[in-house]
Amino acid sequence: MSWFIKYRPKSLSEVENQDQVKEELKRWIDSWLKGKPTNKAVLLYGRPGSGKTTLAYAIARDNNFEILETNASDTRNLGNIRRIVEVGMQQSSLFGKSKLILLDEVDGINRKSDEGAIQGILDIISETKYPIIMTANDPWDPKLKELRESAKLIEVPKLGKIAMRKILKKICEKEKIKCHDDAINIIVDIADGDARFAINSLESVATTYSEVAVNLVEGILRRKEAQYDPFETLRKTFWAKYGWQAKDAVTNSEVDYELLMRWFDENIPIQYEDTKSMTLAFESLSRASIFLSRAKKGNWDQLSYLFDMMGPGVSMADRTKALPTWKAKWKTFKFPSYIQMLARSKQIRREKQEYVEEIAKASHCSYDKALSEIYPFIEVIDKKKK
């Protein structure tokens, strides 16, 4: 059993720090126990390893609740979520134990492949007889809007260094491992509030060397991969001297690859003033878009080529990079405006679409034909009428 699970606090009282969160959770559960829940669901949010899932397990244990859990690794469509919850609810009468529903990592829901999942959760929230805890890293993700509005939001702040040090030292004692304070400090620094990462790191050093010393820690722990914001991703890609740097930039971006393509689409003409580089960069991006479409059709291996085209492909399109005189050019990047454009004109486009559909139906022809061959004439007539 991994140490992270083995030493997971069994009760809220064992959880280091997080006093405010504990207090809020207790009050919420109490309201359930009194039969008058203030909220049916809470959404615990915070960075990875801050203790969201641990808190949910701890409070369930403290109240002798059984946990019904789904997380991102389950296929999470409407049917599945409902089934898990419904089966759980039926069983409850057999054991006489009350339950807590844990929907872990709700931001891992994929809007396309888990179609209906959000609605399914909303239904469960409105019908539930048991408290529901959801967890997410990023609660501001637009797809979580409805979940956000239907739950009480509780932030789980990242663990402080003192608390983290305490946790690691306690584990060392229990495992009877010789741990040097400086080595623990390095792990604490690198983990930056992520308890899962810290405990996993401690375990991997300890089980490899049966000792936790500075040189061993430094040798085995690579710095945790950074996540670049979109501006940083663009800058790192455009400024990369080598292909791997550009690949690193796009693969470690906090922006997902589909949205990242829009960022490049917007900013290639800004970064590349000479037409040849711009054209080559767009050619690469257009190749990337093909690999994306193949990946989405199920050939997920193709995704890796998307990153090659979007990162190194776009980066090396700069014809001057090979020259010794090359210098990175500082540019002010722009937000992808195409997405905003699409959002703003949604209403107008829908109206036009409905109009053309009507024409197509009346004219016994397809939508495309109505749009390209009949609509232009009607537009002339309508304009004149006005």
**Binding-site size, another protein (CB under 8 A):** 55
Under rule CB under 8 A, residue 259 binds another protein? no
Alpha helices of the chain — where are they, by DSSP H?
3-6, 19-33, 52-62, 78-95, 117-127, 145-149, 161-175, 181-191, 195-209, 214-220, 230-239, 243-251, 257-271, 275-296, 303-308, 314-315, 337-344, 346-362, 367-369, 375-385
Nearer to another protein, 46 or 312 (CB): 312
User: Closest separation between CB of residue 337 and another protein, Å?
Assistant: 8
- CA–CA distance, 306 with 315 (Å, rounded to integer): 13
Nearer to another protein, 222 or 297 (CB): 297
User: What is the per-residue binding string for another protein in 103-122, x denoting contact by CB under 8 A?
Assistant: --------------------
Q: Residue 312 in contact with residue 236, Cβ under 8 Å?
A: no
Under rule CB under 8 A, residue 358 binds another protein? yes
Q: Residue 272 in contact with residue 242, Cβ under 8 Å?
A: no
Which amino acid, one-letter code, is at 333?
F
- Given 5, 33, 259, 290, the residue binding another protein (CB under 8 A): 290
Strand partners, 69: 102
- Given 68, 292, 314, 316, the residue binding another protein (CB under 8 A): 292
Nearer to another protein, 322 or 348 (CB): 348
- Given 110, 320, 341, 354, the residue binding another protein (CB under 8 A): 341
Between the alpha carbon of residue 137 and those of residues 35, 187, 293, 352, the distances in Å are: 30, 22, 28, 39
Under rule CB under 8 A, residue 146 binds another protein? no
Quick one: which segment of 41-49, 146-154, 184-192, 359-367 binds another protein (CB under 8 A)? 359-367
Tell me, letter by letter, the H, E, C secondary structure of 226-277: CCECHHHHHHHHHHCCCHHHHHHHHHCECCCHHHHHHHHHHHHHHHCCCHHH
Under rule CB under 8 A, residue 320 binds another protein? no
Helix (H, G, I), strand (E, B) or coil at 198: helix
Quick one: which segment of 70-78, 163-171, 172-180, 284-292 binds another protein (CB under 8 A)? 284-292
Which amino acid, one-letter code, is at 326?
W
- Given 279, 299, 304, 320, the residue binding another protein (CB under 8 A): 279
Under rule CB under 8 A, residue 353 binds another protein? yes
Binding region for another protein (CB under 8 A) = 261, 265, 268-269, 275-276, 278-279, 281-283, 285-286, 289-290, 292-294, 296-297, 338, 341-342, 345, 348-349, 352-353, 356-369, 371-374, 376-381, 383-385
